[in-house]
Amino acid sequence: MTSPHKTIVFDLDGTLVDSLPDIIASFQHAFASLGLKAPTDEEVRALIGEPLEDMYARFAPEHVSTLCDLYREHYPRNFVNRSRPNPGVIEVLRTLRGRGYKLAVATTKRTDMARRFVEALGMMPALDHVQGTDGFPHKPAPDVIHRALAALGAEGLWMVGDTLNDMEAGRAAGLRTYAVTWGNQDAETLATSAPDELQPDLGRLLEHLPPLPRV
């Protein structure tokens, strides 16, 4: 019987990609379109990683549906204005695939949006699967991780992310957790989740993942 693929699971926004400025701009654009006062950059930033509906409900619960529609119309036309892969990410992904690992994304974005975003950034060839959150519990629940691994018929090794929700989801899924500090939450905040690794970049991940034996 063939053993499951060894797989590393990554969060997307803030982890693989520096995408916060474009997310914040589109989030605020929806308020401006309705003539409403938009929240500040910091107020939006504090909520990134939650479902879009929950984010808007914090500020304008009576307009959630319309605000989400406006965001989803604006964001895909502007999501690579300033968004770029974080430094060294593409090289790390290529190295891990070359060592025999499968690579999956598990994000709170909807799957269709996440795949369009990854494709627009030219990152799809470096990944094996992109899994969004579509009508099931979002992180910190482990559902999106389980679905990503199931799609690949894979065994998960590490969950790599930039938020407490990522760390909780990874632990709940039975994976080791790797927190990067270049994203949405700082090192002090991430340390409260006691991740297996707390690092400023992905270099240490490569040290944990030597080449797999050829079958």
Cα 190 from Cα 115, distance rounded (Å) = 27
Burial of 6 (0-12, 13-18, 19+ CB in 10 A): middle
Q: Which of 11, 22, 162, 166 is catalytic?
A: 11
179: Cα separation from own chain's centroid:
12
Residue 54 is a catalytic residue: no
Determine the residue type at 207.
E
Residue carrying structure tokens 């389980």 = 146
Q: Which of 13, 18, 128, 162 is catalytic?
A: 13
Residues 6+ apart with CB under 8 A from 17: 83, 84, 85, 86, 89, 117, 121, 123
Q: CA-to-CA distance for 75 and 30, rounded, in angstroms?
A: 10
Q: Is 11 a catalytic residue?
A: yes
Whole-angstrom distance, CA of residue 78 vs CA of residue 26: 8
Which residues belong to the active site?
A: 11, 13
